Chain A
Amino acid sequence: MTNNNPYETSESSIGGSPDSAVSVQNITKNYGKQTVLDNVSFEIPKNSIFGIIGPNGAGKTTLFSIAAGFLKANSGSIHVLGINVEHVSKLMGRFSMLPQDAEFQAGIPVLEQLTMFAELNGMDKVEARKAALEALKIVGLEEVAKKAARTLSHGMSKRVALCQAFIGNPEVILLDEPTAGLDPDNARNVRDLIREYSKNKTVIISSHNLKEIQNICHNVAILDKGKLVENSSMDNLVASRNVIRVELNEDASAEVQAALLALDCVIEVISTDSQSFDLVTQNTGRKETLKAIYGVMGEHDIYPKSIQEGESLESRFLQVTGGKSDGSSSS
C-alpha cells in the first residue's frame, strides 16, 4: 500500500492482528536514494515491553516516527490497536509517545502545555489540568508545574516529556531513547518509572543501552541497516544458545582461546574485547563444562574476573549486526 494520499479512504484505517498492539507491515522509507527502512514487518504483542535496538542509523527513530505519524512511509503500513496510524485521531488518548529530542515551548509553563495535551486527548479543562498535575506527580516534578519549560534541566525536561506520554493512561506508549543523555541516577529513575507504569500497557522502547533493554523488555527486535535482523522474546534470544561469558583481568591470549576451543564441550570462542570472550558450548552437563573451562585456565595460570552463564543481549546484538564479535573472529 502506498501512502500518496493517506487521508482519502477510511477502509485502510483498520487492520493488523487482533492479538497485536502494534503491527508493522512491509514498511519502507527512503530519503532520496538512501533506503532507511527496507520492507520491515513485525508484530508487537499486547501488554508487553518491547525493545527495538540497532546501531546508529539502523532506522529505529525513523520507524518510531512513522509509527507516530511524523514521517510518511514510502510503502507499507503500521496499525496500532488495529487502527492505521495515518488516522491517528482515532487513537486519541490510547496511544502516546516520548519523541526523541522534542522540545517544549520555551516560555510557557509546563502545566499549561501538559493541560493542552490532555485536552487534546479528549478531557475537559478541569479534568485535563488534574491529569497533568497527576502525571507531573508521577515523575516527581510537581514543583515545576508553573515554571517555564526553558528553566528545566535536561533531566527534568526528559521526565516531563515522559510524563506527557503517560497522561490519560494510554494503552500503547512509544519511548524513543528514554534515558539518553541522563545521568545514572536520573536514568535509573526513568527505568523504574517505566517498569512501574507499564503494567497492562504495551510499551515500546528504543535504546542504545542494551543492558537496559535486556533488563526491562520482554521482547526485542534488532534493526540493522534498515532491515529487521532479529525478532524474538528476550528469554529465547539470550538463552537460545549455550553461552558462557568469560571476563579476565588481563588480555585473553590466542593460546588460551585455542586451548578452550580444543575442549570437546566448546563449539566456538567469540572475542568480545581484548579481555573477554564468549564460549559457545555443547548442550551437555554444565558442571563438567565449567570444570573443564576452569581447568584449562588454571593450566595457563589465568584467573577469570567473572564467568557468566547465558548469552548477553550485547553479544547477540554484535553477532547479528556484524559487530567485531560477530563470530568471524572466533579462534
Chain B
Amino acid sequence: MKQLNFKHIRIIAKYHMRFSLRNGSGIVFLLLTLTTALIVASMFIAPVESMVDGLNDMDGMETQMTAGEMINEIGQSEEAESAVDWLVGADSEGKFLLRDKPALLSCIMLIILMLLPYLVSFGAFNQFSGDIANRGLRFILLRSERINIYLGRFVGTVFFCLITVVMSLVLLVLYIQFKLGVYQGIDLWVWGLQGIVAFFLLCLPFVALCSWISGSIDSPFGSLTLCLLTVGFPGLLLMMMNIYAKKDFFDKFWPTGWKYGILNSNFGTVALSAFILLAFTAFFLFIGLRSFQKRDL
C-alpha cells in the first residue's frame, strides 16, 4: 500500500475515461446502454399505445383512458404484482414497486438490472487487455506502480459507468414523464435517483470482475468473451437451478443475487444489499490486483 499514489490514480483514471471514449469502446458501451434503456421502455409503452389507438379507431369506441393510465392500470393488477414478486423473489415487493412507486419505471429498472452485468462487460472488458497485447501499457509501467495503474483504470471505468447510468436514468425519466405524463414528477425523479444508486452499485462488482479478467488476458476479444461468459454463466446456472428448492440460497453467492435489494421497501435489505455488492467489489478488486501485480507485462 506504500506505493499508493492518489495523484497517479486520478491522472490514470482521467485519461482512461477520455481515451476509452475516443477509442470507441466507451462509445459502444454508452450507446448500447442508452439504446437498451429506450428499447426496454418502448417494449412496455408501444403495445399499450397501439392498443389504445386501435380502440379509438373503432367506430363508437372512444376510450376513457390514455396509454399512460392504461399502463398504470395494468401495472397495478394482481397478475403484474405476482410477476414482479416472482422476478424479485420476495412476496410483498410487487405491491411496493408497482403501487407505491411509479410502476412503469420500476418495471423498466428491473429489466435493465437483469441486463446491466452484460452491458458493463462491454464497457469494462478492455481496461488492460488491449494495452497488454500491444505493449502500450509499458509506457505507463515505468512511470507508476502497478497498484496505481490498476486502481486508476478501475476508477476511470467506474466513473464512466456512473455517467452512463445517470444518462440512462435521466433519459428514461424524461421519456416516461413527457410520453405518458401519469406520474408525479417528484416521485418519478426520486425513484429514478434510487435507480441510479441501484444501477451504480450493481455495476461495481462487475467492473471489478472485468478488471481482473482484462488484467489477466492479453487479448481484448478473449477478455470480452470471458467477461460475458463469467458474468452470464452463474446466472444461467441459477436459472437452470430454478427447479431446485435451494435456488434462492445459491443465488446469494453471486452479485446478481443482490441486484434487486437496492430497490427493496425495507431499508435493512437495501443497506445489506449495498454492503454485499461493495464486498464483492472489494473481493474481485483484491484478487485482480494481486494477479496483476505478480504477472509479467
Q: What is A's interface to B at a CB cutoff of 8 Å?
A: 7, 10, 65, 68-72, 87-89, 92, 95-97, 99, 101-108, 112-113, 116-117, 119-121, 161, 164
Q: Could you tell me the distance in whole angstroms from the C-beta of A86 to the nearest C-beta in chain B?
A: 9
Give 11 pairs: A residue, B residue, CB < 8 Å, sorted on A: A7-B2, A70-B141, A88-B142, A89-B3, A97-B138, A99-B138, A108-B23, A112-B15, A117-B139, A120-B140, A121-B143
User: A96 is contacted by which of B22, B134, B142, B297 (Cβ under 8 Å)?
Assistant: B142
Please measure, in the bound complex, the distance between the C-alpha atom of A70 and the C-alpha atom of B141, giving whole angstroms.
7
Contact B139 A95 (CB under 8 A): no
Contacts of A113 in B (CB 8 A): 139
Please measure, in the bound complex, the distance between the C-alpha atom of A89 and the C-alpha atom of B5, giving whole angstroms.
9
Give the one of A7, A113, A161 with max B CB within 10 A.
A7
User: B142 is contacted by which of A10, A68, A103, A104 (Cβ under 8 Å)?
Assistant: A68
Please list the 3 inter-chain residue pairs (A to B) with the smallest Cβ-Cβ separation, ordered nearest first. A120-B143, A103-B134, A102-B135
Contacts of A103 in B (CB 8 A): 134-136
Please measure, in the bound complex, the distance between the C-alpha atom of A95 and the C-alpha atom of B22, giving whole angstroms.
30
Q: Could you tell me the distance in whole angstroms from the C-beta of B117 to the nearest C-beta in chain A?
A: 27
Contacts of B134 in A (CB 8 A): 102-103
Contact B139 A71 (CB under 8 A): no
Please measure, in the bound complex, the distance between the C-alpha atom of A119 and the C-alpha atom of B11, giving whole angstroms.
7
Closest B residue to A115 using CB positions: B15
Check if B148 is an interface residue, CB within 8 A of chain A.
yes
Q: When A7-B293, A89-B3 are in contact, do A99 and B145 touch as well, CB less than 8 Å?
A: no
Please measure, in the bound complex, the distance between the C-alpha atom of A108 and the C-alpha atom of B24, giving whole angstroms.
11
Please measure, in the bound complex, the distance between the C-alpha atom of A95 and the C-alpha atom of B148, giving whole angstroms.
18
Contacts of A97 in B (CB 8 A): 138, 142
User: B139 is contacted by which of A89, A102, A119 (Cβ under 8 Å)?
Assistant: A102
Q: Could you tell me the distance in whole angstroms from the C-beta of B293 to the nearest C-beta in chain A?
A: 6
Q: Could you tell me the distance in whole angstroms from the C-beta of B295 to the nearest C-beta in chain A?
A: 8
Give the one of B22, B24, B131 with max A CB within 10 A.
B22
Check if B59 is an interface residue, CB within 8 A of chain A.
no
Q: Could you tell me the distance in whole angstroms from the C-beta of B33 to the nearest C-beta in chain A?
A: 21
Contact B22 A107 (CB under 8 A): yes
Contact B8 A88 (CB under 8 A): no
Please measure, in the bound complex, the distance between the C-alpha atom of A10 and the C-alpha atom of B2, giving whole angstroms.
9
Contacts of A89 in B (CB 8 A): 3, 5, 8, 143-145, 148
Contact B136 A120 (CB under 8 A): no
Closest A residue to B133 using CB positions: A103
Q: What is B's interface to A at a CB cutoff of 8 Å?
A: 2-3, 5, 8, 11-12, 15, 18-19, 22-24, 131, 134-136, 138-145, 147-148, 293-294, 296-297
Contact A99 B135 (CB under 8 A): yes
Contacts of A104 in B (CB 8 A): 136, 139
Please measure, in the bound complex, the distance between the C-alpha atom of A314 and the C-alpha atom of B136, giving whole angstroms.
33
Q: List 15 additional contacts besides A89-B145, A105-B131; criterion CB under 8 Å.
A: A70-B296, A88-B145, A89-B143, A89-B148, A96-B142, A97-B142, A99-B139, A102-B136, A103-B135, A107-B24, A112-B18, A116-B11, A120-B8, A120-B12, A120-B144
Q: Could you tell me the distance in whole angstroms from the C-beta of A99 to the nearest C-beta in chain B?
A: 4
Q: Could you tell me the distance in whole angstroms from the C-beta of A112 to the nearest C-beta in chain B?
A: 8
Q: Could you tell me the distance in whole angstroms from the C-beta of A83 to the nearest C-beta in chain B?
A: 13
Give the one of A69, A87, A161 with max B CB within 10 A.
A69
Contact A70 B3 (CB under 8 A): no
Contacts of B23 in A (CB 8 A): 105-108
Closest A residue to B131 using CB positions: A105
Q: Could you tell me the distance in whole angstroms from the C-beta of A97 to the nearest C-beta in chain B?
A: 5
Please measure, in the bound complex, the distance between the C-alpha atom of A106 and the C-alpha atom of B220, giving whole angstroms.
14
Q: Could you tell me the distance in whole angstroms from the C-beta of A10 to the nearest C-beta in chain B?
A: 6
Q: Could you tell me the distance in whole angstroms from the C-beta of A236 to the nearest C-beta in chain B?
A: 31
Please measure, in the bound complex, the distance between the C-alpha atom of A313 and the C-alpha atom of B143, giving whole angstroms.
34
Q: Could you tell me the distance in whole angstroms from the C-beta of A65 to the nearest C-beta in chain B?
A: 8
Contact B142 A69 (CB under 8 A): yes
Q: Could you tell me the distance in whole angstroms from the C-beta of A245 to the nearest C-beta in chain B?
A: 39
Contacts of A96 in B (CB 8 A): 142
Q: Could you tell me the distance in whole angstroms from the C-beta of B285 to the nearest C-beta in chain A?
A: 16
Please measure, in the bound complex, the distance between the C-alpha atom of A117 and the C-alpha atom of B134, giving whole angstroms.
17
Closest B residue to A168 using CB positions: B143
Contacts of B139 in A (CB 8 A): 99, 102, 104, 113, 117, 161, 164
Q: When A107-B22, A120-B8 are in contact, do A71 and B142 touch as well, CB less than 8 Å?
A: no
Please measure, in the bound complex, the distance between the C-alpha atom of A113 and the C-alpha atom of B18, giving whole angstroms.
11
Q: Could you tell me the distance in whole angstroms from the C-beta of B21 to the nearest C-beta in chain A?
A: 10
Please measure, in the bound complex, the distance between the C-alpha atom of A119 and the C-alpha atom of B144, giving whole angstroms.
11
Please measure, in the bound complex, the distance between the C-alpha atom of A164 and the C-alpha atom of B15, giving whole angstroms.
17
User: B297 is contacted by which of A7, A71, A112, A117 (Cβ under 8 Å)?
Assistant: A71
